[in-house]
Amino acid sequence: MINTFPILDEYENYMLAVLNRSDLTVKNYKGDIIIFFRYMKIDKGLVPKNTEFHDIDISDIDLKFVSGIKTNDIFAYLIWLSREQNLNSASRSRKISSLRSFYKYCCVKKHLFENNPTLELENPKKNKRSPKYLTLEESQALINAAYNAPTQSNERDYCIVILFLNCGMRLAELRGINLSDIHGDILTVIGKGNKERTIYLNKSCVDAIDEWLKVRDSYKIKPEAKDALFISKKGLRLSEDMIQITIKNLLAQSGLDTKTYSVHKLRHTAATLMYKYGHVDLRSLQTILGHASVSTTQIYTHVDDDLLHQAVESNPLADFKPEDI
């Protein structure tokens, strides 16, 4: 366990108890702040030479040190993240968000000091990239690979692939599904920020779940996992790592590049297929995916050049030819 400092421990409790942040969000924010103060100790010459970065002790960080951080110190930190750690703009933006939240807590909530060094910070400009996703044909190949896989977990793995590709769930959401969350063709999942949302299951999903449930009881399920939908061979709730490994193996069996595609790319694939072939509007897609803002969902409007081409061709002036006068 990493020894932190009292203010950070209090902030961690604040995120959990008051802001109701998820365990993963709290872990990420706390980790960002630990990295920042380790860097600051190096920058201030408070660390012996040749000390490994992860061995830097921050338990001696006090209020004077925290309040003494200047905006220029954070600028130097961001340059270090970019040039030395090769973090992209999205990752650096997350680091800034973590620091903003921490210093807002110190200055606004606890009134520990007045000068907030994060007020003048701007998020790095993000490079707009279209999300990577499987084509319809590649998605069908993955489904076939899962359906025909010669493994004991065939029905389970097939069901996982079907839910990913049809519902666009996040990894943690799929792993957390309980039997009690399923009511016919309606599924309730817990998304980011512990927000509950409803997902409507199509026939492929319902059939895949039914087939998996027929063999699920043959697993020796531990009491603590009796309500979990997806079970490991050890009778426990299937881990995120195991789900990722399963998908990676099936992608490879489908002849797809496992360095390009991943579990999260299946979420992008589901969203893209719904937008491209189902002509789902952005607000509906936002609800299905559980995005807090429609601006996040808008990335899927850039992936369908075919629809753009069709839109131009459907213009009533597309075939109009002027007459000689």
User: Which are the catalytic amino acids?
Assistant: 170, 192, 264, 267, 291, 300
Q: Give the closest residue to 282 by CA, choosing from 273, 269, 295.
A: 295
Contact between 113 and 107 under an 8 Å Cβ cutoff? The reply is: yes
Task: Kindly report the backbone phi and psi dihedral angles of residue 36, in degrees, each rounded to the nearest multiple of 5, phi listed first.
Answer: -60, -50
Summary count for the chain: helices (H), strands (E): 14, 3
Residues 117, 119, 120: CA angle, nearest 5 degrees: 95
Q: Strand pairing partners for 189? A: 197
Residues ≥6 apart with Cβ < 8 Å to 261 = 132, 134, 251
Kindly list the distances between the CA atom of residue 8 and the CA atoms of 11, 30, 38, 106, 112, in Å, as whole numbers in the listed order.
Answer: 5, 8, 13, 10, 13
Query: For residues 96 and 245, what is the distance between their CA atoms, to the nearest angstrom?
Result: 32
Contact between 159 and 208 under an 8 Å Cβ cutoff? The reply is: yes
Contact between 138 and 247 under an 8 Å Cβ cutoff? The reply is: no
Residues 298, 27, 123: CA angle, nearest 5 degrees: 45
Kindly list the distances between the CA atom of residue 22 and the CA atoms of 13, 195, 296, in Å, as whole numbers in the listed order.
Answer: 12, 10, 19
